[in-house]
Structure 1
Amino acid sequence: MRLLIIHQNFPGQFGHMALAWAARPGWDVRALGRETSPGLPGFQKLYRYKLARLGRKEQHPYLRQMEAATLHGQATARAMLQLRQSGFTPDVILAHPGWGETLYAKDVYPDSKLVHLCEWYYNAEGADLGFDPEFPLTFDDRARIRTWNALHTLNLTNCDVAISPTHWQRSRHPEFFQPKIQVQHEGIDVDSLGPAPQACIRTPSGELLRANDPAKPVITYVARNLEPYRGFHIFMRALEKIQQQHPSCHAVIVGGDGVSYGRKPKDAANWREQMLRDVKLDPLRTHFMGRIPRAEYIKVLQISSAHVYLSYPFVLSWSLLEAMACGTPLIASNTSPVREVLVHGRNARLVKFFDAGALAHEALAQIDSGADQSEHARGARLDVQKYNLRDGLTGYGRAMAMPSSPVDLPSSILEDVTN
């Protein structure tokens, strides 16, 4: 079996799978990533590509993403041509195509099966865009979104098999393409995660915080970047209320000051700065950790008395599943992607996304109930088992082995084409 894995930021979602497949006898597994990709310890066959140039600032705003995708596609195609000239032709190409890397994969390797991880398809209604009334969509936004989908439509057209991590994410793609999309999460390392009654962390200010400490209970919040898409603005408003009502609880907040999704604030360098202007918090009990090593991040989840996960109707975060696996009591937004894995009263407390008062109330109730006694946490640990690495590996393997078949076209479209 010859497999080529493509991800701009390799390994991305494919790390554990790349290592497992590379260890199989008779498998030749190689990868392509951008020159800035971190690589994967223990995986030696990573080839890097570099863009010939960046997109031009004078490009029409609607077309900037497509120009960037074309540049990524060209750079990756050049790297694949070199692989082909060296004698490597993959049986399967597994890729995250979100930046355009596989636009020309079939031109280099027409007989290779192309399997795409399809994370998202933009919609002006019913999902993330326009969800938050604080950030309404303009007509210009809607027009830009429609043009952006050109790349994702090409990706769906070009691939032989598509995979979405959750049913919700699959449902955001055009109904016409959904028969082509399998639902399979990549999996998280459930087996290595769990409660740790002795866990502790030290904050940047020197505060020592421990699991299950009734004198200093801990509320936690985690995101790649602190931004509205993950409800950071709602969390901060709730935290102000929580601190007013609970004089000894601490908040540990993990995440960077960049923007992964959405826009920067207009009048501040980042959303952390913006929200610290808008709310009054006790600086001695509010700990911004920034981005931290994975081992420290897991300890943050393990010391938590109440972990807050908020999300627009958007891609589900691995951090939610990892919090479930750690047995961390959860207070989460009652939004579509979250409801796929959490059930109010069984494995979490769910609140309306925009209701900071309800979020504060549920967080305080969770603290008062005792994190180590939470039935919800036990339910979450049980339910997250279906997102384990073994099932992810098996499901992806099954998708790669599927026979290649195009989407069935409606007979009316076929008639139009033949006429």
Structure 2
Amino acid sequence: MDLSPSPKAEQLLVQLKQFMAEHIYPNEKAYAEQVHNASNRWQAMPLMDELKAKAKAAGLWNLFIPEEHAELSPHGGLSFLDYAPLCEEMGRVLWSPEVFNCNAPDTGNMEVFMNYATDAQREQWLTPLLNGDIRSSYAMTEPQVASSDATNIELRIEKDGGEWVLNGRKWFITGAMNERTQIFIVMGKSDPENPSRHKQQTQVLVPKNTPGLNIIRPLTTLGYDDAPIGHAELVFDNVRVPLENVLLGEGRGFEIAQGRLAPGRMHHCMRLIGTAQRALELACKRAVSRTTFGRPLSKHQSVREEISRSFSEIEMARLLVLKTCKLIDEQGPMQTTDMIAATKTTVPLLVQTVIDRCMQMHGAGGLTEDYMMAEGFNYARWCRQADGPDQVHQMALGKQIIDRFAAE
């Protein structure tokens, strides 16, 4: 199996690495200071806008766009395999994907518009998202039910004349707090009596300024609010939108969710490889710059063993990601759910473990914002919940594997 990127992707990676070296790494401290000192932590940061303009000018914009939508991309679209090393590179600095318009949840939402929206919906929402003029949110998770089973979703979507009426509560809705977020893709239950549990759900488009859509509070993960994108709790109180705001059609919400979440899971894993790789590199620098018991950390056997183990695990995780990407390119995401589940349940936990070792080598400093590791650890940890918790994917994957081999 050839896991090499195309010449086009190789060239983009060279350009991306150069951009990161010239514009991202030197601005990490300045960006953190802007976020911390902002009077409104959910506003667009001036430095981010400056970097976006430079990324556009460099042709490093919307790199996530797949080949089947090549007409929307300045570079003609990329395969999953081609995008993986680019996404990994962006993952080395957790806020940098937004610089290239490649951040979650917008990439997944843009793909929803590409694949399921009408021409009018694409014109109204996809075009400004591709331009980076607005941001978006995907509202699926609910606090009162186990949302990992999408058929549990309780937010009600009911017809009333020429409108949909939404009532319910959502939480951990990424991007909802951001001042540039203008559109919510909302999944709810429109036909609870349908005998098919997978046809009870519908997804509709709700503009942020719609009366009755109330942002209750920002939420944190391990103390991080992830500003200026963040995650929020929302209440929909008799929210009304026109019937034409439906996506794909009534009763097709589960279908959209399945199509959206699979690529998103892979994008998170791609970024996490970059996060782990950078943590390992920092640990190696630390190992030669600090001395304990009369010799550098790098001379201690335990440190060398943990560096060795981390290197090997990152390489294994990277190969798993690349193999899965190759299979997605060849067969499509719906035919590779086993490999996507294996990747999704393996990479975040592995990266969390690697970063934990690297934090330990940095002593107390590893727990602070002086380094990227604490925030990276938080990212890896919440990825074990995002897009479905590990246990749900392991349960489904285990069934697939048993059925596959028990039948032989």
Q: TM-score, normalised by structure 2?
A: 0.26
Structure number, greater radius of gyration:
1
Q: TM-score, normalised by structure 1?
A: 0.26
Greater per-residue helix proportion: 2
